[in-house]
Amino acid sequence: MPAAGRRARALGRIAVIAATIMAGCNQRTPILDADVVTTAPSAVAPAAPLPPDNISKIAFAPPGNRGGTAGRGTIFLEVPARNGGRVVSLRSADESIVSLSPSTIVVPDGATSADFSFTTRAVQRDVNVTITASSGERTISDYLSVWTATTSFLAYTADPGMVNTGLVHRVSSDAGGRFTAGCNGNGGGLFGNASVPNAPGVTVLFAAPPGQPMLPGIYDNAVNTATTGNYLSVSSAPSCQGIGRVELHEVSLLANGIATSLWFTFEQRCLNKPGAIRGTFRVIVPGAAATGRQCFR
């Protein structure tokens, strides 16, 4: 073969080898294996839904009253209200005895409670009137006790952590309760005690400043430690550095200091923890004559 032919043939083989090499270089291995890894974005878990701001409890202060008096009710939510507030409708099972104002309230946005007022009318027999609160799909209810003018009773509502008994307490003479009231043993101030058989009683003690008689009126800033001012102590609220208020509506005492009638409302708050206990106490002994004696401290 002539030299020129051999050179052409060699150049052809070189060209084929180069093309093969170049073809191999252009066949790149994919970085991602489409059979194993997807290029779709990862799914984002949805946010947990907020708990509903349902109504959870209805409370009365006090939870029992002599007919013809008034008080306050409170609606509580499970969580703070949202979306402009929670609308709650109220209804009394017997409006001839207990009337509510207003009949619709709004728990404001961000709040967990709202108040309403109630008024009771005189009754000839003790009754429990159911009060119902409705909002959305939730309906709750509790009862309010209304007692006659001759019934002795103690009723209070306490905030959580305030008392070593139930948060709502109702006891009346017509339901078997036992009541004593009058001047303290040392003549200092008034006491009222209410109990049921085979159970500890609840005692409320209060007094005016030393030397002042216990007359109907308002006793503010009453503390439960040694003081030269007003004094108030509620036995069911232990370990409470208390300050409170007593409104004495009525008091009549025998010569021995025992009360034939004693009626007062009270509120005690704790300085060392949040909360309050609010209630009313009334002793009445029908037909008993009083001498007009007063208690001094």
Q: What are phi and psi of 11, to 5 degrees?
A: -60, -35
Range 236-265 average pLDDT? 90
DSSP 150-192: T--EEEEEE-TTS-SS-SEEEEEGGGT-EEEEEE-TTS-SEEE
Looking at residue 21, its pLDDT comes to 47
State which H helix or E strand residue 9 sits in: helix 3-26
CA distance 10 to 127: 121
Top pLDDT among 31 and 270 is at 270
Top pLDDT among 13 and 235 is at 235
Judge whether residue 285 has pLDDT over 50.
yes
Judge whether residue 31 has pLDDT over 90.
no
Parallel, antiparallel or unpaired: strands 138-147 and 64-66: parallel
Q: Which pLDDT band, with edges at 50, 70 and 90, does 146 fall under?
A: very high
Top pLDDT among 161 and 133 is at 133
CA dihedral 119→123→128→132, nearest 10 degrees, is: -40
Both tokens assigned to 46: 């949805």
- The answer for residues whose C-beta is within 8 angstroms of residue 99's C-beta and 6 or more apart is 92, 118, 119, 121
Is the pTM here over 0.95, yes or no?
Answer: no
8 A C-beta contact, residue 150 and residue 173: no
Looking at residue 49, its pLDDT comes to 79
Range 215-226 average pLDDT? 91
Domains for the chain: give ranges and CATH numbers.
51-148 (2.60.40.10), 150-297 (no CATH)
Looking at residue 211, its pLDDT comes to 87
Q: What is the rounded radius of gyration, in angstroms, for the C-alpha atoms of the chain?
A: 39
